[in-house]
Amino acid sequence: MKKISYIILLLFILGCSKSEENNDNNANCLEKNFLETFIVEPGDCFIFSDNPDMTFIFLGFESYTITHPSNIPHARISARLEEENVTWEFHTGMVYEDHELEETSFSGRVHTGINNVDYTIFFDNIEFTETETEFIFHRATIRFGYYDSEFD
């Protein structure tokens, strides 16, 4: 009986420390303004002074495997928006290679939203390494703002 009490106490303590850890994660988020340019890397977390109830977590990129010369390379974007008790996670954002430029570069927009509010993430530049078989994406210079149809 004593062992069961210790196990229950241990589970209670671990449960409490886990919820405190989640609060600490938001404390580690950087504060930015909408349309402010900043660097983002996988795992980074941001809160915006324009909407302090929303948290933006950049989950990362999926590398692009070079399969056919006529395909336009792209970076697949994953991120999560959290607002109040709602979470929206997406893994389908696409930023294509600027194929009209001589040098290889990636920039573009990803539209997303949460709680019936639409946002646009402007990827001004994505840093990458190119190998013979793939593009490996590392970090990006972005701006985050409310959706505006002018940018479609």
**Separation of alpha carbons 58 and 39, rounded Å:** 11
pTM above 0.85, yes or no: no
Q: What DSSP line would sit under 88-121, residue for residue?
A: EEEEEEEEEB-TTSSS--B-EEEEEEETTEEEEE
Q: Which class would CATH give 29-151?
A: mainly beta
The β-bridge partners of 54 are 83
Q: Find residue 74's DSSP bridge partners.
A: 96
Better-scored residue on pLDDT, 44 or 103: 44
The whole-angstrom separation of Cα 137 and Cα 9 is: 45
Q: How confident is the model at residue 26 (pLDDT cuts 50, 70, 90)?
A: low
pLDDT by residue (tens digit) across 114-131? 999 999 999 999 999 999
